[in-house]
Structure formats: structure tokens, C-alpha cells
Amino acid sequence: MTRELTYVAPGRLEWRDRPDPQLQAGTDALVRPFVAGRCDGDVLPLHHSVSRAMQAGVKLHLIDPVISDITGAVPFRGTFGIGHECIAQVTSVGEDVQDLRVGDVVVVPWSVSCGECRECRRGITAKCSTTRELSPGSALAAFGFGPSCGPWGGVVTDSLRVPYADRMLVKVPHGLDPLRVAAAADNLSDAWRSVAPALGESADGSVLVIGGGSRSIGLYAAGLAVALGATQVDYIDDDADRLATADALGATVREVSRRRWTSVRSAITRTYDVAVEASSTEQGLRDALRALGPGGVCTATGYYVGAGTKLPVMDMYATSATLKAGVSNVRPRLPELLDFVARSDFPAEKVTSTLLPWEDAPDGYAAHTTKLVLHREPLDLPR
Ligand SMILES: [Zn+2]
Ligand SMILES: [Zn+2]
């Protein structure tokens, strides 16, 4: 049997046993995670009784019914293996795996993709049609979201089966500290896609980050924008610790005192080429879009579950703005992200606000902290 960190109910997690994963196809690999980050999105079912609230919200037409396509008809119902951000060691490979060897240290992208279907070839690996067939009716195939997203399990475990291993797994560059890229499987990559493509080759643009909701993504985005050479990076939040982290990453911080639904417009005094909405609020989305200058690009990184989110489309028309929404397609961008972090020495680990021993996962995973990372020693594997 293998242990898996299991979500039971809000605030309640346990180690539970499940059968040892086996190689099921020649293209499979087995890996042993030894660094795991807690995705910003995992905070939702950990800290709130969202399951019943979401069911009621869908019934009352307050929440977009499409949520059921992602989380299943009963969102976040325990029990399920939680966690979908990890760095792992390859422990076993199928006979058709060519590019990986036992002992390789790899990033395991949060969504499971084949690398060959039409969607994967277009770079939208989070919408892989091959793997989604295994979770019928679901919008996603992913680790750590429960059976509605397939049979993959959570990554805070002793052994994990990864299909299409050559296409899925990306080796961590030699010399790059796995703790630095603990969130590469999801949140760090999400931040990368929010700033790097929009800033482009010249990277001389200005960037606004409205933080506080998808908490680590906002901080990674601010730090990456600075490291990419953006001329101005402004970070807005109401939390002193996160503001200090953004400051340490080189962003200009603007503190707001606000309740969740109020506008942060008063803290925005200019226009931006790039906006990252990481407050996970509708108002934040409107503020971010209205802050864009001509041709600006806003990426929405949070959950906007309301049925009928209002957007300032006339404002967007006037500025020729682009809004990018959607889960992040990690796999195609991982090599360039890891290469950038390795080359630039980007200190992503500054975003980690709590670092815990692996064994503390059941008590620690629900901690009220911006970015939780678990770690243990890698195995001494013959290479
Ligand atoms: Zn996530
Ligand atoms: Zn695919």
C-alpha cells in the first residue's frame, strides 16, 4: 500500500492507504514526490465548507453551473487525494519510456495530458482529449481534485503513476534547487503565463498585479515581471506579509484596506500594458481591466464562480484590451520557465511562507498561510 494525503472535510486531512500504483502501459512512469506545494485553489475546500454552499449556489443560479463539469455534481466532497503541485524522483519506467531514467528529478504538471491529441498539439494540454476521456463529463484530467477529474490521485503520496511520461514530465535543470521551483507544476507556471507572453521579447512594459486571492500566483507574477525586466511592477494587496514579499521581489507595493468586494481603484494611478488579476474577485477583474492601457492584456488567475460576472466591455473596446481566462497549460511552457529561473536566479522560494516536513502534512496542509511547501529527503537512487 502507499500513503496518500487525503482530504476528508474542511480543515480535516489524513494519511490514508491506497493500493500501490503499478505501471499500466509502456509509456507510464512511477515517481516519488519529495517537494509538494499547496496550490492557491486548494485553500477553498480546506478553509470553507464550499461543498454544500456551491451546491446551493448552483441551484439558486448564483453560481455558474459549469462548475459541476470541473468538480463533479457534488463539488469537493471528501474523501479524495489532495495536492497537485510536486517535484518528484522517477522510481520506475515502462518499456517504451525513452527520455527518462530512474533517479531523474522532474516536475509533474498538475493536469494529465497525452502530448499528442489535437488539444495537446495546440498547446492546451489542460484540455487534453485523450486523458479527459477517462473522466467522462469532466472539464479536466488532473491530479488532486478527486475522482471527477480522473483516477490519478493526489501528489502528496509515496508513489504516483504518471502516464505518457516522456510527454508529461520535465526534468529540473541540474543545479536548480527543487524547493525554488516547488510550484512549477501549477502556480509558478500560472504566474509565468500571465506575464511572460504578454511582456514579450522586449519586456519593457508595465505590470499591475492585484493580489490576495490566488495568493502565491500574484506574488510569483510580480516577482517574475521584475525579473523579466518590466519597467514598472505595481502590486496591490491588503496583507502586510504578502506586501513585504512583493517588496522583497522588487515590486512597488500599494497597500489597500478593503473588504473582499470593494474596488481597489483608488490605488491605481496609471495605466498598464499587463494586468494580473489575482484577487479572485469580480471587482478585481473589473479594476484590472479598467487599468489597462492601449492593447493591454489582462490574465484572470482566480476562480470567478458567479453566474454572470459583469465586465467593462465598452472600456475594453476603447482600449483594445484582451482578457485571458482559463486554467493554465503548464506542460508546453515548463521548459522555458525552468530555464529562465535557472538562468536568472529568480528567488521563487521567497514566496514560500511556510515550509514543513512531509510528515506534518495532515496537520499542516490546511495552515492559514500564503504558500505552503512540504519537503523530505529524496531517495538515494542508483542512476
Ligand atoms: Zn491548482
Ligand atoms: Zn492530449
Q: Are 340 and 170 in contact (CB under 8 A)?
A: no
pTM beyond 0.85: the answer is yes
Residue 309 lies in a domain: yes
Whether residues 143 and 228 share a domain: the answer is: no
Which three-class secondary structure state does DSSP give residue 297? Answer: strand
Is pLDDT above 70 for 201? Answer: no
**CA 310 to centroid of chain Cα atoms:** 25
- Domain boundary pick from 308, 324, 340: 324
- Domain boundary pick from 324, 341, 365: 324
Whether residues 211 and 319 share a domain: the answer is: yes
How far apart, in whole angstroms, are the C-alpha atoms of residue 318 and residue 313? 9
Task: Using the mean position of ligand 1's atoms as its centre, give its distance from the Cα of residue 302 in Å.
Answer: 10
The pLDDT assigned to 75 comes to: 67
How far apart, in whole angstroms, are the C-alpha atoms of residue 133 and residue 150? 9
Whether residues 224 and 156 share a domain: the answer is: no
Residue 380 lies in a domain: no
Point out the ligand nearest to the CA of residue 119. 2
Per-residue model confidence as pLDDT tens digits over 226-264: 999 999 999 999 999 999 999 999 999 999 987 656 889
Whether residues 272 and 241 share a domain: the answer is: yes
Whether residues 193 and 279 share a domain: the answer is: yes
CATH number at residue 302: 3.40.50.720
Whether residues 42 and 62 share a domain: the answer is: yes
Tell me which residue range forms the domain holding 221. Answer: 187-324
Per-residue model confidence as pLDDT tens digits over 311-329: 999 999 999 999 999 999 9
Per-residue model confidence as pLDDT tens digits over 137-167: 778 899 999 888 899 999 999 999 999 999 9
Residue 34 lies in a domain: yes
Task: Using the mean position of ligand 2's atoms as its centre, give its distance from the Cα of residue 169 in Å.
Answer: 14
Point out the ligand nearest to the CA of residue 123. 2
Whether residues 205 and 336 share a domain: the answer is: no
How far apart, in whole angstroms, are the C-alpha atoms of residue 217 and residue 293? 22
> What's the total number of domains in the chain?
2
Residue 191 lies in a domain: yes
The pLDDT assigned to 55 comes to: 75
Residue 174 lies in a domain: yes
Average pLDDT, the chain: 93
Is pLDDT above 80 for 74? Answer: no
Whether residues 371 and 279 share a domain: the answer is: no
Task: Using the mean position of ligand 2's atoms as its centre, give its distance from the Cα of residue 136 in Å.
Answer: 15
**CA 116 to centroid of chain Cα atoms:** 23
CATH number at residue 102: 3.90.180.10
Nearest CA to 36 out of 374, 361, 376 is that of: 374
Angle between helices 240-248 and 215-228 in degrees, nearest 10: 20
Task: Using the mean position of ligand 1's atoms as its centre, give its distance from the Cα of residue 256 in Å.
Answer: 26
Strands (E), the chain: 2-9, 12-18, 29-37, 80-81, 85-93, 105-108, 160-162, 170-171, 206-210, 232-237, 252-255, 272-277, 292-300, 322-324, 354-357, 372-375
Burial of 102 (0-12, 13-18, 19+ CB in 10 A): middle
How far apart, in whole angstroms, are the C-alpha atoms of residue 378 and residue 91? 11
User: Could you give the residue ranges of the DSSP H alpha helices within the chain?
Assistant: 43-47, 50-59, 67-71, 118-121, 129-132, 165-168, 187-199, 215-228, 240-248, 282-290, 313-319, 330-344, 361-364
Task: Using the mean position of ligand 2's atoms as its centre, give its distance from the Cα of residue 134 in Å.
Answer: 12
Per-residue model confidence as pLDDT tens digits over 206-215: 999 999 999 9
Whether residues 35 and 173 share a domain: the answer is: yes
Task: Using the mean position of ligand 1's atoms as its centre, give its distance from the Cα of residue 286 in Å.
Answer: 23
Per-residue model confidence as pLDDT tens digits over 162-179: 999 999 999 999 999 999
